[in-house]
Structure formats: structure tokens, C-alpha cells
């Protein structure tokens, strides 16, 4: 009954969020900055091996076509668009060769492989934090031309900005980069990440952002790739050390966010819990209708052990028929069904951002 009560509460909150005001979205636009959890195809246009523009990615998406989303279907940014009443998804900014009115509802600047630390993006030739911000500044100039200054400022100030970085910084950069671990302890490294987060929020604020939702780090120690690489026993339990670093970083983000609200007048900043929803799915899967938590639905030989983000179309060794029973789509990313659950839990907290 406890689980049913929890789910009922989530769906009630989602219903309240999804009801548009006078048939319009609850905010004039959405903007996304982050990594592969929210990227909808920007990496398709970059010289990076971190791509998802080939099947079976997108197998269960609209028209069953791979768009660059790291899932069998929708990612968090897609569910955010639906939750806030949009009838179309905010496009990948780099796909907007002919922008026009396509940019009025916002844009997605996220890039798989990115992070709060610019060295993370450099490893994967992704869009860094600073590059994503520069693209947003370019977007503002285009918006001013199309909508006029008054309407553009109204869109910019009234929009919801979603930020989601950090997990890749720790799992794919710090713990796989011996040089970083020689220079910094994990505590020192997360201090740097949080300072970069502060700088980024201040820069967004300076550009007119007033409603910002920040996704905290996920339970990175529960990702199949993390368990395989860092747990020599190949157990089915999460890697405690990795999860503890994520929790420590999340606590720092929380404390720092409180200070940011005090520093920046009119800033409405909410943290969205990206950790607990995934941890619940992995540790209590049957309560949520899942049966597989250790392996991804989609595997590619060695890459199933580390990352299935490489564009290698000829190394399939496994593809499950029904991804809805799998928490993970590949060794690093969630299935659409799991993403939907995580998004519903996360955005129930975002209602505080909407007047």
C-alpha cells in the first residue's frame, strides 16, 4: 500500500503540473544544459565518438528512429516538456540550421559526455559547460531578432532552465583518470565541481534566468558500468564509494544553492533529486515493476562492460525484446520506462518554480 500511495501522490502532482494554463504551457520556454541524460542530439553534430544516432537507440521513440537520445525512447528533457505542457520537444540547438520560430519555445544545449569540469567534455569532444553557455548567448541574439526585444526578454525571464551535470565528471573522468586522483582527493574534486556550478548559475542569472531546476548527481555506483569496472566481485550491489561521493557532492550542491538564493535577488532555484529515484529502482525493482537491474537491455560486446555510447553498429551481442522491464537501456543509461519514473519523481519538486 505504501508504494501505491507514493505512486498516487506522484501522479497527482504530475497532473497538476501538466495542466496548461489557458491551453498554454506553464512556462513560455524550456532550456536544457547538461550531459547525456538530457541531450536530444547535439552530439550528432560534433566530432565525438559519444553518439546515439544509430539503432537500436530510439527503437521505441517516435517513428522508431534514432535521434541522438541515449535511450530506447524519451529522455528526461522530453518528459519535462510534456510535464510543463509543451506539445513539441525543445530541439537540439546544433540542429537548428534554419532557426526561425523553432526557437520560441526554448532549446536544448546539452551534450553527452559533458560535465561541470571542462576536462570532462574535452575527454569526449563534447560541448563543455562554457560552450553550452556561449550557445545560449547566441540563442538570445537570434531570439531578439525574431521576437523583438520586449517579447524576447519576457521569454527569457519567464522560462524554466534545467541543469544536469556531474555524474560523468566523477564516474567517467575522476575515477578513470589517474592524474586527477594524484592531484585531488574526491572531496577536493567535488569542491571544484560545485564552484563551477556556482559560476554557471551566476552566469545564467546574469543572462536573465530566474527559474532554474538543477538535477543532482544520480546513484552512479548503481550503474552497470560502474559495478563492472569498480567491483572486482561483479556483484549485483551498488559501489558504495561511488555513491558516497555522489551524495557528498549533492549535499554541497544543496548548501551552495541555499547561498545562491540569498545572493541573487529574485532567483527561484530548486534542486531535483536525481539520486534517490534510481537507487530505489535498483534496490527495490519489483516494487516498481522491473525485473532486471544489473544489465542493460542493449549490449555491445566489451562495451556492455563499460559504455555502449560508442558508434559501433556491428558489435551487437544482446538486445532484449522488452526494455520496459529493464531499469537500464545500456550500461550507463536508463530505459525509457525508468526515465519516466525518475522524471515523475524529480519534477514533482519543480512545482515550486511555477507561480
Active site residue 117: no
Q: What pLDDT shows up at residue 354?
A: 62
The answer to the question of residue 207 being in a domain is: yes
Q: Which of 12-26, 48-62, 229-243, 264-278 has the lowest mean pLDDT?
A: 12-26
What is the tens place of the pLDDT at every residue in 140-190?
A: 999 999 999 999 999 999 999 999 999 999 999 999 999 999 999 999 999
The answer to the question of residue 318 being in a domain is: no
**Band of the pLDDT at 351, cuts 50, 70, 90?**
low
Q: Which three cell numbers stand for residue 232?
A: 572486482
pTM metric for this prediction? 0.89
* Cβ burial, residue 55 (10 Å; 0-12/13-18/19+): middle
Q: Which long-range contacts (CB under 8 A, 24 or more apart) does 1-8 make?
A: 3/287, 3/288
**Cα of 88 vs its chain's centroid, Å:** 18
Q: What pLDDT shows up at residue 228?
A: 86
The answer to the question of residue 6 being in a domain is: yes
Active site residue 64: no
Domain count of the fold of the chain: 1
Mean pLDDT, rounded, for 239-265: 97
Round to whole Å and give the CA distance between 229 and 143: 45
Catalytic residue among 77, 167, 333, 344: 333
What is the tens place of the pLDDT at every residue in 297-324?
A: 987 434 443 343 344 444 445 789 999 9
Domain assignment of residue 104, given as a range: 2-220+240-284+336-353
b vs e for 78-100, b when ≥16 Cβ sit within 10 Å of the residue's Cβ?
bbbbbbbbbeebbbbbbbeeebe
The domain that holds 102 is classified in CATH as: 3.40.50
Active site residue 135: no
Query: Residue 60: is its pLDDT beyond 80?
Result: yes
Mean pLDDT, rounded, for 42-57: 95
Q: Which three cell numbers stand for residue 46?
A: 560534433
**Band of the pLDDT at 353, cuts 50, 70, 90?**
low
The answer to the question of residue 297 being in a domain is: no
The answer to the question of residue 319 being in a domain is: no
Catalytic residue among 114, 257, 330, 335: 330
Amino acid at each position: 500500500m505504501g508504494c501505491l500511495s507514493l505512486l498516487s501522490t506522484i501522479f497527482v502532482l504530475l497532473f497538476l503540473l501538466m495542466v496548461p494554463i489557458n491551453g498554454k504551457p506553464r512556462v513560455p520556454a524550456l532550456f536544457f544544459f547538461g550531459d547525456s541524460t538530457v541531450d536530444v542530439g547535439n552530439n550528432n553534430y560534433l566530432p565525438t565518438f559519444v553518439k546515439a544516432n544509430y539503432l537500436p537507440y530510439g527503437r521505441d521513440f517516435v517513428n522508431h528512429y534514432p535521434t541522438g537520445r541515449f535511450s530506447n525512447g524519451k529522455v528526461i528533457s522530453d518528459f519535462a516538456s510534456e510535464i510543463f505542457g509543451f506539445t513539441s520537444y525543445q530541439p537540439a540547438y546544433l540542429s537548428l540550421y534554419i532557426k526561425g520560430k523553432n526557437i520560441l519555445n526554448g532549446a536544448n544545449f546539452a551534450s553527452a559526455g559533458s560535465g561541470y569540469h571542462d576536462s570532462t567534455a574535452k575527454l569526449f569532444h563534447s560541448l563543455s559547460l562554457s560552450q553550452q553557455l556561449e550557445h545560449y548567448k547566441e540563442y538570445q541574439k537570434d531570439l531578439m531578432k525574431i521576437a523583438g526585444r520586449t517579447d524576447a526578454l519576457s521569454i527569457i525571464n519567464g522560462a524554466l532552465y534545467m541543469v544536469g551535470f556531474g555524474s560523468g565528471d566523477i564516474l567517467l573522468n575522476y575515477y578513470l583518470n589517474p592524474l586527477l586522483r594524484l592531484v585531488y582527493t574526491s572531496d577536493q574534486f567535488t569542491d571544484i565541481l560545485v564552484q563551477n556550478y556556482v559560476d554557471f548559475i551566476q552566469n545564467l542569472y546574469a543572462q536573465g534566468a530566474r527559474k532554474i531546476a538543477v538535477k543532482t548527481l544520480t546513484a552512479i555506483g548503481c550503474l552497470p558500468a560502474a559495478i563492472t569496472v569498480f567491483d572486482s566481485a561483479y556483484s549485483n550491489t551498488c559501489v558504495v564509494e561511488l555513491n558516497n561521493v555522489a551524495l557528498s557532492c549533492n549535499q554541497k550542491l544543496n548548501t551552495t544553492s541555499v547561498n545562491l538564493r540569498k545572493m541573487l535577488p529574485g532567483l527561484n532555484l530548486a534542486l531535483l533529486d536525481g539520486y534517490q529515484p534510481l537507487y530505489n529502482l535498483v534496490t527495490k525493482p519489483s516494487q516498481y515493476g522491473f525485473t532486471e537491474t544489473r544489465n542493460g537491455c542493449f549490449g555491445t560486446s566489451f562495451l556492455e562492460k563499460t559504455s555502449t555510447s560508442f558508434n559501433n553498429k556491428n558489435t551487437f551481442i544482446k538486445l532484449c525484446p522488452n526494455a520496459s522491464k529493464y531499469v537500464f537501456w545500456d550500461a550507463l543509461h536508463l530505459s525509457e520506462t525508468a526515465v519516466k519514473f525518475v522524471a515523475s519523481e524529480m519534477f514533482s519538486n519543480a512545482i515550486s518554480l511555477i507561480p
